[in-house]
């Protein structure tokens, strides 16, 4: 289980001794170093590493890192926000020992997510993992719990083509057995590595776009789900490299094609009951389950700067591509931004959930889940109800009918997403001032560096970042 207590200077009770035991076990397993991992504002997994002999010190006192990394762009240039930026200051990276795992795809290494603490012992306001952890803890005080999972789509490219070009590493049909056969060793090794790391995989299969596959993993508590999303991608990247492949989780690998999504599945629970399947409302939703869904739907335009944060995200967001470009909802409707998933009869009390389709893997998973949970909780607080559901493709509605039925587009460009995010009160309530400041600064920086670029150049710029 995820550690939900804030770290403290010197370590939580027993942390130092636990780290010493873990270090001994890791050394006996010939692990040399520990990757200390967090995700920055633009969705890049940043790390510092320590030898296993320094794990106990890291658990007690953290490892230093500048707060300026919250202001990094995807090309490693640095912007400045209104509240932060520049060379001053230091933070401490504190590993969550409960999530530490030896990396099967990177022999000799272990991995742990970190929380970021200031040197005076308080949690850093810009730490996205801590923001999510504290939001979940506050919801638990209201009797609410959540389960979540992020789908992981990716494209495999040949490793022998000139950089930064993409040539698919397989030619078989979408969802076809031929494509699985072409990369059978990679897929089998990926399953083996993920299993060795304790990741329960629901599915791995060929997807629609050229060279594309998907891994779906089991649901966890929200912080655990975000941690798992980071770990799975790191593992797939390591396995791909060992097979001489390049891997891209970018929203748009090739401009004009179907991109990689990072759809979020989430469900709300109270007293062990799933609020999306144990009520008398539409599709078995309780009143609070529907209000949660309505809150998410209402907030999706404002959250676009979180769910689709990259200029490349807007190459993926196209009508009739199952990308969730329309802020509407439907039961098992894959063109709507919010899909109500009921699951198979006999399993619905466990399986029912909401799928947020207008999200991709450039999103910081902690901010993504935190924003969606905050929106859902806001919906419960306001006792919102869902509008009329949509069936079929909303692109087929004429504008008057779409307006009548409340169907609207999510932002279709990064500048529009920035404007909508800045105008909404939800982000500041969900994330706090430092995160909002960093998001606005980084998104504006990304938009500025892509201004005037054609779609091919935008895809090139982000293809191998994610």
pLDDT for position 392:
86
Q: Which residues lie closer than 8 Å to 185 by C-beta, 6 or more apart?
A: 243
In the chain, the domains with their CATH numbers are 15-121 (3.10.20.70), 141-462 (3.30.590.10)
- pLDDT tens by residue, 66-112: 999 999 999 999 999 999 999 999 999 999 999 999 999 999 999 99
Residues 6+ apart with CB under 8 A from 74: 42, 43, 44, 310, 362, 446, 461, 462, 465, 466
> Mean pLDDT, to the nearest integer, of 27-44?
98
- Phi, psi (deg, nearest 5) at residue 255: -60, 140
Task: Give the model's pLDDT for residue 270.
Answer: 97
pLDDT for the residue numbered 2: 80
Predicted confidence at residue 395, as pLDDT, reads 79
Selection from 293, 298, 297 nearest residue 281 by Cα: 293
What's 148-173 look like in SS3?
EEECEEEEEEECCCCCCCCCECCCCC
Q: What's the whole-number mean pLDDT along residues 433-461?
A: 97
> What's the helix, strand, coil split of the chain in %, to 5?
40, 20, 40
Note the pLDDT of residue 242: 97
Q: In whole angstroms, what is the distance from residue 246 CA to residue 167 CA?
A: 9
Share of the chain above pLDDT 90, in %: 89
205 CB-contact burial (10 Å; exposed 0-12 / middle 13-18 / buried 19+): middle
**CA 428, CA 315: separation in Å to the nearest integer?**
28
Q: What is the pLDDT of residue 430?
A: 97
- The residues, ordered by sequence, that sit 6+ positions from 100 with a Cβ below 8 Å of its Cβ are 22, 34, 110, 111, 112
Coil, helix or strand at residue 254: coil
320 pLDDT more than 90: no
Which is higher by pLDDT, 396 or 14? 14
**Residue 251 backbone dihedrals phi, psi, to 5 degrees:** -60, -35
The structure tokens 């789509």 sit at 153
**Strand 326-331 and strand 336-341: pairing?**
parallel
pLDDT of residue 261: 96
- Please tell me the predicted confidence (pLDDT) of residue 349: 85
Q: At what angle do helices 128-141 and 365-382 cross, to 10 degrees?
A: 30
2 φ, ψ (degrees, to nearest 5): -70, 140
Name residue, tokens 């967090």: 38
Q: What are the backbone angles phi and psi of residue 463, rounded to the nearest 5°?
A: -55, -45
Q: What DSSP line would sit under 264-275, residue for residue?
A: EEEEEEETTEET
Scan for tokens 């012992």, then name that residue. Answer: 121
Burial of 396: CB neighbours in 10 Å, binned 0-12, 13-18, 19+: exposed
For 106, residues 6+ apart whose C-beta sits below 8 A from its C-beta are 234, 238
* C-alpha 458, offset from chain centre: 21
Q: CA triplet 368, 373, 418: central angle to 5 degrees?
A: 45
Give the span between the Cα atoms of 431 and 175, in whole angstroms: 38
Longest dimension (CA), the chain: 68
3-class state of residue 183 by DSSP: coil
Task: Using pLDDT thresholds of 50, 70 and 90, give the confidence band for residue 400.
Answer: confident
Q: Are 417 and 312 in contact (CB under 8 A)?
A: no
Q: Which two tokens stand for residue 151?
A: 């789908």
**DSSP designation for 8:** -
Q: In angstroms, what CA-CA distances link 299 with 202, 369, 430?
A: 29, 13, 12
The token duo for 113 is 């997510």
pLDDT band at 398 (very low <50, low <70, confident <90, very high): confident
Token pair of 427 as six digits: 């982000």
SS3 304: helix
Q: What percent of the chain stands above pLDDT 70?
A: 100
Provide the token pair at 450. Answer: 């892509």
Q: Is residue 338 helix, strand or coil?
A: strand
- Helices 455-462 and 433-450 sit at what angle, rounded to 10 degrees? 130
């Amino acid at each position: 289980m995820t550690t939900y207590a804030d770290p403290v200077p010197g370590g939580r009770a027993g942390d130092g001794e636990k780290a010493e035991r873990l270090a001994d076990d890791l050394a006996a397993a010939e692990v040399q170093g520990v990757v200390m991992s967090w995700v920055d504002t633009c969705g890049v997994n940043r790390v510092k590493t320590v030898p296993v002999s320094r794990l106990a010190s890291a658990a007690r006192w953290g490892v230093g890192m500048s707060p300026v990394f919250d202001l990094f762009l995807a090309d490693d240039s640095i912007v400045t926000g209104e509240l932060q930026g520049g060379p001053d200051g230091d933070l401490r990276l504190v590993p969550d020992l409960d999530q530490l795992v030896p990396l099967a795809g990177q022999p000799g290494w272990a991995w742990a997510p970190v929380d970021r603490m200031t040197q005076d012992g308080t949690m850093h306001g810009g730490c996205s993992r801590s923001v999510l952890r504290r939001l979940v803890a506050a919801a638990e005080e209201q009797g609410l719990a959540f389960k979540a999972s992020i789908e992981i789509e990716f494209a495999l490219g040949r490793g022998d083509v000139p950089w930064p070009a993409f040539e698919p590493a397989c030619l078989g049909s979408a969802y076809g057995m031929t494509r699985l056969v072409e990369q059978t060793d990679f897929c089998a090794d990926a399953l083996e590595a993920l299993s060795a790391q304790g990741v329960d995989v629901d599915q791995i299969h060929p997807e629609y776009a050229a060279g594309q596959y998907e891994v779906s993993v089991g649901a966890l508590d929200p912080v655990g789900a975000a941690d798992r999303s980071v770990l799975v991608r790191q593992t797939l990247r390591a396995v791909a490299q060992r097979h001489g492949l390049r891997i891209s989780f970018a929203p748009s690998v090739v401009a004009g094609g179907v991109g990689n999504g990072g759809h979020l599945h989430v469900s709300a629970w109270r007293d062990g009951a799933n609020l999306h399947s144990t009520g008398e409302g539409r599709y078995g939703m309780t009143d609070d389950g529907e209000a949660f869904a309505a809150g998410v739907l209402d907030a999706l335009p404002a959250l676009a700067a979180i769910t689709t944060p990259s200029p490349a995200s807007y190459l993926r967001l196209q009508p009739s591509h199952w990308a969730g470009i329309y802020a509407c909802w439907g039961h098992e409707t894959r063109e709507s931004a919010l899909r109500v998933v009921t699951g198979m009869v006999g399993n619905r009390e466990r399986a029912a959930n909401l799928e947020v389709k207008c999200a991709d893997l450039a999103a910081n998973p902690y901010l993504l889940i935190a924003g969606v949970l905050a929106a859902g909780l806001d919906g419960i607080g306001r006792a919102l109800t869902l509008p009329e559901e949509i069936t079929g493709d909303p692109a087929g509605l004429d504008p008057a009918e779409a307006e009548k039925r409340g169907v609207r587009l999510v932002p279709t460009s990064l500048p529009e997403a920035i404007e909508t995010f800045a105008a909404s009160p939800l982000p500041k309530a969900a994330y706090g001032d430092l995160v909002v400041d960093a998001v606005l600064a980084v998104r504006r920086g990304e938009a500025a560096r892509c201004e005037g670029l054609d779609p091919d150049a935008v895809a090139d710029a982000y293809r191998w970042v994610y």
